[in-house]
Amino acid sequence: MKKKGKTSIVTRYNKWGYIFLIPFFVVFVIFQLIPLVNTIYNSFFENYMSGLNKIGPNFVGISNYVKLFEGGDLWKYFGNTMIMWILGFIPQIVLSLILAFWFSSPSLKIKGQRFFKTVIYLPNLIMASAFAMLFFALFADAGPINSMLIKGGLMSASAPFKWLSNVWSTRGLVAFMNFVMWFGNTTILLMAGMMGIPADLYEAAEVDGCKPSQVFWKITMPLLKPIFIYVLITSLIGGLQMFDVPQILTNGSGDPMRSSMTLIMYLNKHLFSKNYGMAGALSVLLLIITGILSFAVFKFTANDEAK
Amino acid sequence: MKKQMSKLVVSALSACMAIGLCACGSTTSNTDTSDTKTETTDTAKDTSSEETATVAEDTGKTLNIEVWNEEFKSRITDHYPGYEKTDDTHGKIGDVTVNWIITPSDDNAYQNNLDSVLPGNADASEDKKVDIFLVEADYAQKYVSKDADVAMTMKDLGITDSDLSKQYSYTQDIVKDADGNMRASSWQACSAGLIYNRDAAKEVLGSDDPETVQQAVKDWDTYEETAKKMKAAGYKMSSTVNDTYRVYSNNVSKPWVDGTKVQIDDNMKAWVDNSKKEVDAGETGTAELWGDDWAKGFYPQGKVFCYFGPAWFFNFSMKADDSTSIAANGGWGFCVGPQSFYWGGTWICAAKGTDNPNLVKDIILKMTTDDSIMKEIAEKDSDCVNNKNVLKELAGSDDGNLAILGGQNPYQQLADGAEKVDMSNTSIYDQGCNEEFQSAMKNYFDGNASYDDALAQFNKAIVEKYPELTTE
């Protein structure tokens, strides 16, 4: 009897934990779990609009998946997505690490930190589509960038460089935009991680005569790892879901020759005709790819801790 | 103090950005309203109710009009008696509020919007019911078909054949359903021609007389020769390859889609071949239509010899309202060009389920059959109206002389062209096919792909857009 009374106090107390979790689970189930299951279910059906007529839903087994893999386009779009993500992520992480290191370094004591932190975060507040429209106008064949280059004598007026008709300049612009939009966010995350590192470690290192590069690689980086992995994985998932910038910049075409078409842009092409079957199959594949990559990154980088 | 300072700076910076965003946002705000509309009225379709010959009473207090640009709105504002503008997307006719729902037509967005709204229109709530929607030639057949049954027939509206007798027959044929009933009516006849830069014509061809210019562009071979001369004088023949697209695509011998199979007509291949030659020779560009690069030629420093288009094109698209443009200074001339063609045209449909049928009927009658209103449209907006009497009258009088064209009277040519228009090779997939073909071939013109690769991409894109179609 005594025992029972004891546990009931604990469970009575514990139940508040569950009650407070209810809102999250309700939202999660309605907006995440049900759509997820629904998507998987839909991916086995032929179901689209032909003009004003609805075709399906007819059960077609895995033929949507087979169609996706036919011709190998899927891997091409996956490759495009990864290339553009890496092109943007490398400068982003390098710059963010440097900035975070400077901002959080106790020996540097940079003035006007709040101002700079805000300024580097501001690009992230612009709508991606507005930002892409801006670049679309700036880098048009007869746009301001080209006229500046022509006036500066760096380009001949008769043959202006067509930024958006060239594979690598298009990809480069997409990567650059993503870099500008996201480096502030990354900097702030990394800085939070760096400020969590005890200052006495740095002081001890200084006393022992460490060079700044040694401090960075031997102290900052290892202790920053959890945050670093978090940044890497969220950026990877964000990169796989890249859509708005290349969509607007290339007017939805992903040209030249679909070399800047990302997986989500491809998904959007199917949603055009409300083709829920193909779009569902592609979404499921995307889920699997994202899962595998995130797991791999986590495993690879968290290896040391497991030991 | 320091904290306050930086807060001030931050808020100032964000304010700057917010202002910038608002400036961008204002042009797209119209589309927002249609988005919410799409979501709210996506219900099951059941429109086959019993029809009566007499037109029902008007009960609606809101007249919803689905359009893709400002053109029809400005026609109504300027020419429909009793219309009062209240703001950019609203107006009033009597005590009925007119609500303009603008969805841009790019990438079939306008069609997709109609597809989700129209089938459930009869059951939509009173203020949400679409009363009028507009369609273009590229997809008119989709919405006037008997199976779709989303547009009322003219007969059901109480509009008789004699009301419509002055219209050109092509504008009626394309909007007839399987029973031969018209389900839409147009105020425009969109026969088109070649619009040339008079200064360039004088400089290179020695004269800006339409007859002389026509001799220099009378077929595609002569057009090519003239393009070389233009290039030598520093002019581009046309602004982009897509300018000539409609001239070729209107003169095809088979439609884009046969049953469910996509086919490439020989004339489309000819467009690709000729365009590639012109691009490689620097005689034209590869920009997309309607963009800034394309529109450069509307100004003297853009150095473009010609554009192709119908009457709505030189009125609506050539920046005539900008005093530095060629159009504002009457610097364009008009001739037939290498092949006769038409482009676009807007038809007014009465949506099935409308709660203002009499008002809709009156708008259709006034805008598409009334001689005096149509003459007014032609004179004020240089539109080529769908009315044989009016065109004949204009062709024979100085009223038809257009300032944009330096006083030239294009109406005889436009009227002759309208009689010749043949729309037998259209299909409901034309907008998608035209857009995707131009977009895919741009890769070939820019040297990023071979013709076969570009064609493969077109095939791919078409099947994505219309899963029911097959390609070679």
pLDDT for B288 beyond 80: yes
Q: How many Cβ pairs within 8 Å bridge chains A and B?
A: 100
pLDDT for B128 beyond 70: yes
Examine the fold and report which residue of B352, B368, B395 is the final residue of a domain before the chain moves on.
Answer: B395
Query: Where does the pLDDT of residue B35 fall: very low under 50, low under 70, confident under 90, or very high at 90 and above?
Result: very low
Q: Provide ipTM, 2 decimals.
A: 0.81
Shortest CA distance to B467 belongs to which of B432, B424, B419?
B432
**B431, B417 Cβ separation under 8 angstroms:** no
Looking at the domain assignment, is residue B86 inside a domain? yes
Looking at the domain assignment, is residue B125 inside a domain? yes
Query: Where does the pLDDT of residue B11 fall: very low under 50, low under 70, confident under 90, or very high at 90 and above?
Result: low
Among the partner-chain residues B142, B428, B457, the one whose CB lies closest to the CB of A258 is B457
User: What is the 3-state composition of chain B as percent helix, strand, coil, each rounded to the nearest 5?
Assistant: 50, 15, 35
Among the partner-chain residues A49, A140, A258, the one whose CB lies closest to the CB of B292 is A140
Using a CB–CB cutoff of 8 Å, tell me whether B446 touches chain A.
Answer: yes
Query: Where does the pLDDT of residue B10 fall: very low under 50, low under 70, confident under 90, or very high at 90 and above?
Result: low
Looking up residue B426, the CATH number of its domain turns out to be 3.40.190.10
Mean pLDDT throughout B215-238? 93
| A272/B112 Cβ within 8 A | yes
What domain range includes position B129? 62-189+344-395
Q: Do residue B441 and residue B362 come from a single domain?
A: no
Tokens of B37: 């509309």
For residue A256, cis peptide bond before it (omega within 30 degrees of 0): yes
| A127/B21 Cβ within 8 A | yes
Query: Where does the pLDDT of residue B50 fall: very low under 50, low under 70, confident under 90, or very high at 90 and above?
Result: very low
Residue B23 has a pLDDT of 43
For B178, which DSSP code? T
Mean pLDDT throughout B444-466? 92
pLDDT for B427 beyond 60: yes
Residue B276 has a pLDDT of 95
Tokens of B352: 């099935």
Tokens of B226: 């003239």
Relative orientation angle of helices A167-195 and A113-121, to the nearest 10 degrees: 140
pLDDT for B38 beyond 70: no
Each residue of B60-108: pLDDT tens digit? 889 999 999 888 999 999 999 989 989 888 999 988 999 999 999 887 8
pLDDT in tens, chain A (307 residues): 445 555 677 777 888 888 999 999 999 999 999 999 999 999 999 988 877 778 878 899 889 999 888 878 899 999 999 999 999 999 999 999 999 988 887 777 788 888 988 999 999 998 999 999 999 999 988 889 998 999 988 888 777 888 888 999 999 999 999 999 999 999 999 999 998 888 888 889 889 988 888 888 888 889 998 889 889 989 999 999 999 999 999 988 888 889 999 999 999 988 877 889 999 999 999 999 999 988 888 887 766 554 4
Residue A1 has a pLDDT of 46
User: Alpha helix (H) ranges present in A1-127?
Assistant: 2-28, 34-42, 63-69, 73-104, 113-121
CB atoms within 10 A of CB B81: 9
Distance, in Å, from the CA atom of B332 to the CA atom of B344, rounded to the nearest integer, reads 21
| B282/A49 Cβ within 8 A | no
CB atoms within 10 A of CB B162: 8
Query: Where does the pLDDT of residue B428 fall: very low under 50, low under 70, confident under 90, or very high at 90 and above?
Result: confident
Q: Do residue B171 and residue B138 come from a single domain?
A: yes
Distance, in Å, from the CA atom of A272 to the CA atom of A172, rounded to the nearest integer, reads 27
Q: Do residue B124 and residue B215 come from a single domain?
A: no
Q: Do residue B267 and residue B373 come from a single domain?
A: no
Handedness of CA A157, A159, A165, A166 (dihedral sign): negative
* CA–CA distances in Å: residue A75 to residues A80, A148, A260, B167, B275: 8, 38, 13, 54, 32
Tokens of A172: 């480069």
pLDDT for B283 beyond 90: yes
Q: Do residue B273 and residue B414 come from a single domain?
A: yes
Q: Which residue has the higher pLDDT, B456 or B9?
A: B456
Q: Where are the domains of chain A?
A: 70-306
Residue A142 has a pLDDT of 81
Among the partner-chain residues B107, B150, B296, the one whose CB lies closest to the CB of A142 is B296
**B283, B204 Cβ separation under 8 angstroms:** no
Looking at the domain assignment, is residue B410 inside a domain? yes
What percentage of chain B exceeds 90 in pLDDT? 47
Class in CATH terms, A70-306: mainly alpha
Residue B337 has a pLDDT of 92
* CA–CA distances in Å: residue A47 to residues A43, A275, A280, B254, B334: 9, 6, 10, 30, 49
Tokens of B1: 């103090």
Distance, in Å, from the CA atom of B468 to the CA atom of B465, rounded to the nearest integer, reads 9
Q: Do residue B182 and residue B195 come from a single domain?
A: no
Chain A residues near residue B119 by CB distance under 8 angstroms: 52
Among the partner-chain residues B446, B460, B468, the one whose CB lies closest to the CB of A256 is B446
Distance, in Å, from the CA atom of B295 to the CA atom of B320, rounded to the nearest integer, reads 12
Angle at B351 between CA B346 and CA B355, to 5 degrees: 135
Q: Do residue B379 and residue B423 come from a single domain?
A: no
Distance, in Å, from the CA atom of B114 to the CA atom of A185, rounded to the nearest integer, reads 40
**Residue B257 belongs to what H/E stretch?**
strand B257-258
Q: Do residue B261 and residue B409 come from a single domain?
A: yes
Residue B344 has a pLDDT of 80
Using a CB–CB cutoff of 8 Å, tell me whether B234 touches chain A.
Answer: no
Looking at the domain assignment, is residue B174 inside a domain? yes
Query: Domain count of chain B?
Result: 2
The alpha-carbon gap from A87 to the nearest alpha carbon of chain B, in Å, equals 21
Looking at the domain assignment, is residue B33 inside a domain? no
Distance, in Å, from the CA atom of B438 to the CA atom of B286, rounded to the nearest integer, reads 10
Q: Do residue B305 and residue B416 come from a single domain?
A: yes
Using a CB–CB cutoff of 8 Å, tell me whether B39 touches chain A.
Answer: no
Tokens of A164: 């958006």
Residue A184 has a pLDDT of 92
